[in-house]
Chains A and B, each alone.
Chain A
Amino acid sequence: MPHWFFISILLAFLSLDVTAVGQFMVSRPIVVGPLVGWFLGHPNIGLEMGALIEMIWIGDLPVGAHLPMDLMMLSGVSVAFACELVGSQFPPEAVMTYALGVTIPLAALSTEINIFVNKFNVRWVHLAQRMALGGHFKTFAWINWFVVVELFIKGFLVTAASLILIHFTSGLFYLFGTILNGRVMEGLYYAHWLLLALGCSAIIDLLIEKKNIFFLVLSIVAIMSLAIFDQMQGVYLVSIALCAGFAIALFFMGKGEKND
Chain B
Amino acid sequence: MTEEQPVSLNRKDLTGAFIRLFFIQTVWNFERYLSYGVAFVMLPILKKIYSTQEDRAQALSRHLEYFNTHPYMASFILGAIIRMEEEKQQLPKAQQKQKEEEISALKVGMMGPVAAMGDNLFWATVRPYCGLLAATLVLSSAFQVKGQYWVIPLLFLVVYNVGHVGIRLTGFIQGYRKSDQVVLTLRKYGFQEAIRGLKFASIVLLGVLIVFVNLSELEKEMGLFVLKLTFFTAIVGLFTFVLRRKISPSQLFYAVVLFALMLAFWPDISAMPKDNHFISSKPAAAAGFMADKKPIKGKL
Contact = CB atoms under 8 A, between A and B. Distances in A.
Interface of A: 19-26, 28, 30-31, 34-35, 37-38, 42-48, 50-52, 54-65, 69, 86-92, 94-95, 97, 100-101, 104, 108, 118-122, 124-125, 128-129, 132-135, 137, 140-141, 143-144, 147-148, 151, 177, 181-191, 193-209, 212, 215-217, 219-220, 222-224, 227-228, 231-238, 241-242, 244-246, 248-250, 252-253, 256-257
Given A64-B115, A132-B64, A177-B279, 6 more contacts: A54-B135, A55-B135, A90-B279, A92-B286, A119-B29, A125-B31
A9 B141 CA distance: 30
A179 to B, nearest CB: 12
Interface in B191-215: 192-194, 196-211, 213, 215
B260 A188 contact: yes
Interface stretch (B4-12, B54-62, B89-97, B99-107): B54-62
Contacts, number: 408
B27 A201 contact: no
Contacts of A141: 40, 43
A86 to B, nearest CB: 5
Contacts of B143: 235
Q: Is the interface of A mostly helix, strand, loop or mixed?
A: helix
Interface residues of B, number: 132
Contacts of A212: 199-200, 203
Q: Return the 8 tightest CB-CB contacts between A and B, nearest first.
A: A219-B207, A245-B201, A249-B197, A187-B264, A201-B239, A187-B261, A191-B260, A121-B29
A242 to B, nearest CB: 7
B119 interface: yes
Chain B binding surface, main DSSP class: helix
A224 B211 contact: yes
